Amino acid sequence: MKKTLADINVKGKKVLVRVDYNVPLNASLQITNDKRIAATLPTIEYLLKKNAAVILMSHLGRPKGKVVSEMSLKPISVCLSELLGKPVKFVGGDCISAESKKVAADLKSGEILLLENLRFHPEEEGKNAAGEKVKASMDVFAKELASMGEIFVQDAFGTVHRAHASTASIVKYVKDAAVGFLVEKELKFLGETIEKPARPFLAILGGAKVSDKINVIENLLNKVDAILIGGAMAYTFLKSQGVSAGTSLVEDDKLELADELLKKAKEKKVDFLLPVDHIITNKVDFVNKQVPSDADIKATVDEAISEGYMGVDVGPQSLEKFSEVVKFSKTIVWNGPLGIFEIDEFSKGTIKIAELVAEATDDGAISVIGGGDSVSAVKKAGADKRISHISTGGGASLEFLEGKELPGIAALSDKK
């Protein structure tokens, strides 16, 4: 068990908090969704109440180790200040400049400083100016960051699967380190859900590639009662069983592996559900995420997809079958869309699953959703408030489901 805010004494201390303020900005650098900023308020407000001085650290976008003015955290400092109803100090340009260090040194209890984008420094990701990996440079940068505070708090769930200077190395150079409220909640939900699930336990996995989710499937096969697969991944599984997939997105080099996973599921008596019918089309404009007006769209009669057509969503018979399984599940973990969700015509399966998961939750199931598309789907279905837990970290929640150690958590101090 890692230390939480309740286990550390922050009174009068300078607390460095890693947050995930990687928010979407429009062309005029306005924040289009401030959810990630709002999600950090409980930790910040708690620290201020305990008379700590708060130094916030985040990355934004992929500036690749260079100063990119459009990726400055300045607009975020303004938004955070509005949300908190308090001033937020900000120093532009360089997060470890003499000026940043001076403002940090002069910061009083109850005050807040937001440092500039960490990824303006290539060392944050353990690289040098040429973009080559140099582990030592990460430690030097982490030490510089740590010199501005005394205690480290990890509240950036979106980056805990990365072993970076501000997420992991920094812990070596501070007096104490703990998880913040946001990360604590993520670990509690994801951890308890997977380790002590109410049964039946169902995993719903979708998305483009089997290769991205092999480890998740392998790990979950040891834990769940049923796995439901949708999205393009399903065609690789179906093709591995000799079902024709037309021009669907299939990973031909993963057919053998898909067959092995199906065999493993059988051995472990895990119900492995694949679509029994599909929505197919002969044309998709992937670049503009549209269906050309002359495209032919139809539902198949069974699993097979005819030549010249690709599967783009699960069909109505599949949804009926899936609905029975979702309804009787008591724990549901969902990651990835069941079709080309970005195109309205092909988003029906994903939206329906979102509604089914919300209904099951109303009936007492625990539901955990991760991954950008699945989260958008529950929002689009107007069902997000009914889900037990929506993870703030797509990649991190997936690595958690893989059973991997998360570097940004592993580095923290253990509870005594």
- Return the beta strands (E) in 206-364 as ranges: 226-229, 271-273, 278-281, 297-299, 310-314, 331-335
Part in contact with ligand AMP (CB under 6 A); list of ranges 23-31, 42-50, 182-190, 339-347: 339-347
Contact pick of 101, 209, 283, 330 for ligand AMP (by CB under 6 A): 209
Nearer to ligand AMP, 209 or 283 (CB): 209
Q: Which of 268, 372, 382, 415 is catalytic?
A: 372
Work out whether 237 is an interface residue with ligand AMP (CB under 6 A): no
CA dihedral of 183, 185, 186, 188, whole degrees rounded to 10 = 120
> Hey, is 248 helix, strand or coil?
coil
Backbone torsions φ then ψ of 117, nearest 5 degrees: -40, 115
36 tagged catalytic: yes
18 tagged catalytic: no
Work out whether 337 is an interface residue with ligand AMP (CB under 6 A): yes
Contact pick of 227, 228, 229, 340 for ligand AMP (by CB under 6 A): 340
Work out whether 311 is an interface residue with ligand AMP (CB under 6 A): yes
**Starting at the edge strand that comes first in sequence, how are the strands of the sheet with 271-273 ordered?**
271-273, 226-229, 201-205, 331-335, 366-370, 389-390
Work out whether 214 is an interface residue with ligand AMP (CB under 6 A): no
Q: Are 243 and 259 in contact (CB under 8 A)?
A: no
Give whole-number Cα distances, 11 to 14, 97, 107, 250, 415, in Å: 9, 26, 14, 56, 19
Q: Which of 3, 13, 14, 36 is catalytic?
A: 36
CA distance 241 to 68: 49
CA distance 227 to 210: 13
Task: Output the smallest distance, CB 180 to ligand AMP, in A.
Answer: 27
Nearer to ligand AMP, 153 or 229 (CB): 229
Nearer to ligand AMP, 22 or 413 (CB): 22
Work out whether 393 is an interface residue with ligand AMP (CB under 6 A): no
Work out whether 249 is an interface residue with ligand AMP (CB under 6 A): yes
Nearer to ligand AMP, 374 or 413 (CB): 374
Part in contact with ligand AMP (CB under 6 A); list of ranges 66-74, 92-100, 103-111, 340-348: 340-348
CB-closest chain residue to ligand AMP: 207
150-178 b/e with 16+ CB inside 10 Å = b?
A: bbbbbbbbbbbbbbbbbbbbbbebbebbb
Backbone torsions φ then ψ of 370, nearest 5 degrees: -135, 160
Part in contact with ligand AMP (CB under 6 A); list of ranges 109-117, 207-215, 318-326, 355-363: 207-215
Reported for 246-252, long-range contacts at CB under 8 A and 24+ positions apart, including other chains, are 246/280, 246/305, 246/306, 246/307, 246/308, 246/309, 246/310, 246/311, 247/307, 247/308, 247/309, 247/310, 248/305, 248/310, 248/311, 249/208, 249/310, 251/209, 251/210, 251/211
Part in contact with ligand AMP (CB under 6 A); list of ranges 24-32, 129-137, 264-272, 336-344: 336-344
Whether omega for the bond prior to residue 275 falls within 30 degrees of 0, making it cis, is no
Restricted to residues 352-391, the positions that interact with ligand AMP (CB under 6 A) are 371, 373
Residue 195: partners with Cβ closer than 8 Å, 6 or more residues away: none
Residue 95 exposure: Cα atoms within 13 Å on the Cβ side = 36
Work out whether 342 is an interface residue with ligand AMP (CB under 6 A): yes
For residue 368, give the H/E element and its range: strand 366-370
Work out whether 322 is an interface residue with ligand AMP (CB under 6 A): no
Q: Which of 209, 321, 379, 404 is catalytic?
A: 209
393 tagged catalytic: no
Q: Which of 61, 92, 395, 403 is catalytic?
A: 395
Contact pick of 39, 73, 138, 232 for ligand AMP (by CB under 6 A): 232
Work out whether 312 is an interface residue with ligand AMP (CB under 6 A): yes
CA distance 40 to 36: 7
Work out whether 407 is an interface residue with ligand AMP (CB under 6 A): no
Task: Output the smallest distance, CB 310 to ligand AMP, in A.
Answer: 7
Number of residues that bind ligand AMP (CB under 6 A): 17
Work out whether 339 is an interface residue with ligand AMP (CB under 6 A): yes
Task: Output the smallest distance, CB 244 to ligand AMP, in A.
Answer: 15
386 tagged catalytic: no
Which residues bind to ligand AMP, rule: CB under 6 A? 207-209, 212, 231-232, 249, 311-312, 336-337, 339-342, 371, 373
The residues assigned a catalytic role are 36, 209, 372, 395
